[in-house]
Chains A and B, each alone.
Chain A
Amino acid sequence: MRTDRARPGHAVLALLAVVLLGYAPAALTAPAAEQPKRGGVIRIGLPTDPGGIDPHILTTGQDHRVVAWEIFEQLFTTDAGTKIIPMLAEGYTLSRDRRVYTFRLRQGITFHNGKEMTSEDVLASLHRWVAVGGRMGNLVKLVADTRTPESWLRAADRYTVQVTLTKPSVALLQGLSTIRQGAYIVPKEIIDKYGTRRITEWGDNIGTGPFRLVSWTKDQSIRLARYEGYKPRSDAPVGYGGARVPYVDVIEFLVIPDPAVRAAELEVGKIHILSQGPVSALKRLQQNPNLVFVKGAPSWYDHIYFNLRNGVFAEPRDRAMKLRQAVLAAINVREVAQVSYGDPALYRLDPGYMWKETLWWTDACKEFYNQASPAKAKKLLQEAGYRGEKIRFRTSGDRAELLVFTEAVTRQLKEIGMNVEIAAMDYGSYTKAWFAPTGWELSALQATFRDDPILLPFWASSDIFARPTREQMPHLYEQETRLITEDDLDKRRTILAEMQCTFYKEALHIRLADAFEVRFASRVLRNFKNTPEIFLWNVWLRQ
């Protein structure tokens, strides 16, 4: 057994990334020397009610995470540069063959129902997390025998958990720390009650986090209160990790569907944080001395899927590749982004499939990004012998941001002579169409911020958007398997750069610009950080 708690290599890389990329979440709203104060209510405007916050299941978006994130915790979390650091775990050891992880739990941690967290809760939580599926859980299934809890999990004692994999993989640690569909720890009795069904009674959302859920009026408000039994870690706060101290008494999430009205509520001081605000209010809010523009990391990037299983972009292989390359060559990303977001403060051009704010960022094969070369595109079309076959471009009509970039890209493709036809559907119908293997050639979507490349939704093993079969493109599956099973950070970074280059060279996907949401915070909030995910521990109110 060797101790592998704080890999020095990781720390150096994290530091390097921060220094080189100039990104570190800063406290936006407080002088460094200010004394924290307890008390008060923080209010946040949400566009929609998240419905439920079962931490193992739902992923629909920020509205779900921003609430769940204050209530539930994981064994691990990440620092600002997405390096994995312990949270509910003290640390871990890894066996020599890199298959057996032994996690030591922090002692004296209680759930919001007062019960102490022990190995049995962790075992039940980890098994449910994998059993309910989801991208992360499914990756763990590839590297562990998860048929029963006993086949991969063991409680060595009350505070020690052992996890056995069938082969070395980074998927486990990544899953234990990732925010979306991560392995959050909930009491065993809740899992006994629900099994793999969604937690539907709001009172059953019990975690170990700094705030507990006290009321939920559907489609109106969600109220959290400081958990008085919370024991912060003793190490200094860093990124999402270290000591989490709940200073405010109450966090209230108010459902305010209209973005202009959410902005108005921020201006009159009813809410303290505005997320997903209207672009039209950007300038006005920027001029307000009581507010600060929270530009942490991009919330998403716009991207376009090719149908790689059927149609002109799939078969015959050589011609299909030339056609895809023509599309990639034609697109002027800056123009599309300007049309979509209007203000350069809200977008950023970047070739990296992983965001600049992560340890993973690479600009490998950047020459294929934003080529904006209609001449090259036309030549490629000619070489492919394109005869004006219809390209059906699927998008959603009721998500304005998707429709706008679809239209901008369509215009550029029409200019090089492609016969593109937009098929706009309501978002509900569109999500159903994600699983359709035929009937479309291009599909528009947004990839939201992820902390590990295996979570990107467009790799070959993804179930949506007609990814190529193993027979069609075996090399993609081989690369992806290596990315999942390799557990050395440097090697994984190299594999990601390789995959990114394959995607660019073979034009398997179109990445457009990063988009920053219109997120503002009131200066009444102190020590509020500009991290990609909003969190409210360690934040206090000016009094």
Chain B
Amino acid sequence: MRTFLIRRLASMLGVLAVVAIATFLIIFLAPGDPAVLMLGDQADQESVARLHREMGLDRPLLVRLVLWFAQLVRGDLGRSIYHGEPVLRMVLSRVEPSLLVALLGTGLAVVLGVPLGVLAATRRAAVTDRLIMAGSVLGLSVPSFWMALNLILLFSVYLRWTPVSGYVPVAQDPWETLRALILPCVSVGITQAAWLARVTRSAMLEVLLQEYVRTARSKGLRERVVLTRHALRNVLLPVVTVTGIVMITLFSSAVIIEVIFGLPGIGRLVTDSVLRRDYPVIQGSILFVAVCFAFINLLVDLAYVYLDPRVHYA
């Protein structure tokens, strides 16, 4: 296990180096100029050149790449061109809302999706199954931004139960944090729950046809025991894989939800920075997301060992 961990961590470093170089090159090959974006239609050559010098954009690409790597080694992600703040501080300040949306959204998706998937599988072809599957198709088809705007209209504008937008940090007022996150989490959770329900159902159907399930039933075990002890545990492997993907997707790419609800999350930081051509922030935040991605994948792999004794990592 230890060898496995060391090998995985070493390969992660390699992946991150590739991500770092690729991000750097892709960004600098893309057209656009942060200086002109800031100056607007009153831009003139002189002001643009002055801002370029200030931002270090007048140096050759290779020099900038080497300087950036030298910074990275020292744990410094640079400073935002647009805000003037250290990138690491900006990225870390965005982690809390993104993490909470990811955790609560994924939690909602699991709590709703997995039981519904199991239920649909056990009532295969019956009315319950059809209703659940129709519901999941609907959940997958309705865009989350549309659902978000309608939820705002109903719960925030008409009923005034939840705030329309904005975010309050947990340290300031946990109750307000939760109130601010209810609608965003429901908006993303429903779609992901629909996906999880479908994955769970098909995995469950496959497992229910296995011989060990037939054996369990023929032993006279109650159906609930057959389902929870014998079938569900085997279903968990694909479900955990999908849950990992759901979590990282919600953490890094819930951009539309973050924009609509005014949540200062990672996804919005990346897209705002791309539109502003804020190179250091784009590089820093993508690298940060890549690190998170690698770690969640590692956790999923480790979860396999716990869930399935047949899995070993030499």
Contact = CB atoms under 8 A, between A and B. Distances in A.
Nearest to A465: B41
A270 B162 CA distance: 12
Given A198-B54, A264-B152, A268-B160, A426 B262 contact: no
Nearest to A60: B40
Contacts of A432: 31-33, 36
A427 B82 CA distance: 16
A90 interface: no
Interface in B106-137: none
Contact of B264 (A220, A261, A265, A426): A220
A211 B264 CA distance: 26
Given A219-B269, A258-B259, A447-B41, A265 B164 contact: yes
Interface string B227-238: 000000000000
A92 B82 CA distance: 38
B41 A464 contact: yes
Given A138-B44, A268-B157, A457-B42, A431 B164 contact: no
Binding site secondary structure of chain B: helix
A435 B48 CA distance: 11
B268 interface: yes
A48 B272 contact: yes
Contacts of B264: 217-220
B50 A51 contact: no
Q: Across chains A and B, which 7 residue pairs bring their CB atoms closest together, nearest first?
A: A200-B84, A428-B32, A133-B47, A431-B36, A429-B31, A463-B44, A457-B41
A431 B51 CA distance: 15
Given A58-B38, A134-B44, A181-B42, A428 B31 contact: yes
A268 B164 contact: yes
B198 interface: no
B260 interface: yes
Contacts of A434: 36, 41, 43
9 contacts: A60-B37, A60-B39, A196-B50, A220-B262, A268-B157, A432-B31, A432-B33, A435-B45, A435-B48
A460 to B, nearest CB: 13
Interface in A443-478: 445, 447-448, 455, 457, 462-464
Contacts of B167: 220
Given A254-B166, A429-B32, A432-B33, A135 B262 contact: no
Given A132-B47, A196-B50, A52 B84 contact: yes
Interface in A57-79: 57-61
A180 interface: yes
Given A200-B79, A428-B32, A428-B274, 4 more contacts: A198-B54, A198-B84, A428-B276, A432-B32
A52 B83 contact: yes
B152 A261 contact: yes
Contacts of A200: 79, 83-85
Contacts of A267: 157
Nearest to A200: B84
Nearest to A180: B42
A214 B159 CA distance: 34
Nearest to B32: A428
Interface of B: 30-34, 36-48, 50-51, 54, 79, 82-85, 90, 93, 149, 152-153, 156-157, 160, 163-167, 259-262, 264, 268-269, 272, 274-277
A51 B82 contact: yes
A342 interface: no
A257 interface: yes
A257 B269 CA distance: 12
Nearest to A428: B32
Contacts of A398: 275
A26 interface: no
Contacts of A220: 166-167, 262, 264
A176 B215 CA distance: 89
Contacts of A217: 264
Interface in A254-297: 254-258, 260-261, 264-265, 267-268, 270
Contacts of A433: 31
A201 interface: yes
Interface in A174-210: 180-181, 196-198, 200-201
B206 to A, nearest CB: 42
A428 B275 contact: yes
Contacts of B274: 428
Contacts of A428: 30-34, 37, 274-277
A60 B152 contact: no
A463 B275 CA distance: 23
Contacts of A256: 165-166, 262
A427 B38 CA distance: 12
B85 A218 contact: yes
B281 to A, nearest CB: 10
A219 B89 CA distance: 13
B47 A134 contact: yes
A254 B180 CA distance: 15
A255 B83 CA distance: 14
Contacts of B152: 261, 264
A72 B276 CA distance: 25
A448 to B, nearest CB: 8
A218 B85 CA distance: 9
Interface in A130-146: 132-135, 138
A220 B84 CA distance: 16
B265 to A, nearest CB: 10
Given A200-B84, A256-B262, A258-B260, A219 B164 contact: no
Contacts of A59: 39-40, 42
A518 B110 CA distance: 42
A263 B175 CA distance: 25
B38 A51 contact: yes
Nearest to B79: A200
Contacts of B31: 425, 428-429, 432-433
Contact of A264 (B44, B48, B157): B157
Contacts of B268: 219, 257
B155 to A, nearest CB: 11
Nearest to A216: B83
A432 B33 CA distance: 6
A435 B47 contact: no
Contacts of B37: 60, 427-428, 431
Contacts of A257: 259, 262, 268
Interface string A467-511: 000000000000000000000000000000000000000000000
A138 B46 CA distance: 9
A264 B277 contact: no
